[in-house]
Amino acid sequence: MHILHVVLLLDFLVLGHSSSALNKMWEEWKVKHHKVYDNQTEIIFRRAVWQKNMLLVLTHNQEASAGKHSFTLGMNHLADMTAEEINERLNGLKLEEPAHFTNLTIKEVNSLSTPQSMDWRKSGLVSPVQNQGLCGSCWAFSSMGALEGQMKKRTGVLVPLSPQNLVDCSTSDGNHGCRGGYISKAFSYVIRNGGVDSEKFYPYEHQNGKCRYSVKGKAGYCSNYHILPQGDERALQAVVASVGPVAVAVNAMLSSFHLYRGGLYNVPGCNPRFINHAVLVVGYGTDRGQDYWLVKNSWGTMWGEEGFIRLARNKNNLCGIASFAVYPTL
């Protein structure tokens, strides 16, 4: 949105003359994101939530243009949901039990070379961004993203793997489908099951279903997985550089994360201990002197930078990006 519009709209909001401008934006937003609500009560509630988020976005972007923030927010498809709803319905990562940790030794990490920047998308190790919908299956997307990268390295072909396969079939490994799961237990399933199907063979459905794994659709496998030293961004950088995309857990609780539009996400209050969402680190770099992680999310391409976020790097493990990082080995 044009800065002038933002300023004008803010003035309108302050003066209380905003209703027709806002109504128009609400109607356009609903069309763009294919929103249909069940009844009048729901419409009134969603409109109120949307308006609150709109004010947040406008204020934030106004401040960003004045140099107070290094990222902007946008009215994406999540803008009619409260932060609590998003955290409850989309952010289904369970906290890992320490018993599952199989640490890498620091010696191993230090011996790896670390270039200044890395973007595994350029080497074709990253499949298209998907949208998990209102299902807490982030753990399945994150883990399959890491496995897709390793499979591509091994076979030379990038085949999107099936998060639905994990949602439906890994309950006995300790996962809970759309109600959440663990990155490590996603890999445990693939190891135990002897493989995982392709997305094409076993497509995503946004909800729990009956397990329909078939060896006919098998496109991925792994024999082990490794958990990086907790909170160590240097180790994460080294492993991303030498191994490929790494599944990680982050704090995605803040509205600024839900409505992230673009730029370098750097929120000082993003506590590394409050982890609730699984994503995929696909690279890293430096922009105007500020280090960042390049991260793939599973909230569709309307969110962030075509579905990706650049998250501040070497800022004391901001948002817990290195608190729980895992990669599989074939």
138 flagged as catalytic: yes
Active-site option among 138, 169, 178, 270: 138
Candidates 39-47, 70-78, 128-136, 252-260 — which segment interacts with ligand NAG by CB under 6 A? 39-47
Choose, by CB under 6 A, the member of 23, 65, 102, 286 that binds ligand NAG: 102
| Number of alpha carbons in the 13 Å side-chain half-sphere of residue 283 | 18
Q: Which two tokens stand for residue 212?
A: 């329909």
Q: How far is the CB of 231 from ligand NAG (least distance, A)?
A: 9
Max CA separation in the chain (angstroms): 64
Q: How far is the CB of 178 from ligand NAG (least distance, A)?
A: 18
Contact status: 38 vs ligand NAG (CB under 6 A):
yes
316 flagged as catalytic: no
Choose, by CB under 6 A, the member of 14, 31, 34, 39 that binds ligand NAG: 39
Contact status: 101 vs ligand NAG (CB under 6 A):
yes
Active-site option among 60, 226, 258, 277: 277
Contact status: 42 vs ligand NAG (CB under 6 A):
yes
178 flagged as catalytic: no
Please give the Cα distance from 322 to 75 (Å, whole number): 29
> Measured from the CB atom, is 171 or 230 closer to ligand NAG?
230
Q: How far is the CB of 101 from ligand NAG (least distance, A)?
A: 4
φ/ψ (deg, to 5) at 302: -75, -20
Choose, by CB under 6 A, the member of 20, 41, 105, 113 that binds ligand NAG: 41
Q: How far is the CB of 42 from ligand NAG (least distance, A)?
A: 4
Supply the residues annotated as catalytic: 138, 277, 297
Report the interface residues with ligand NAG, using CB under 6 A. 38-39, 41-42, 101-103, 230
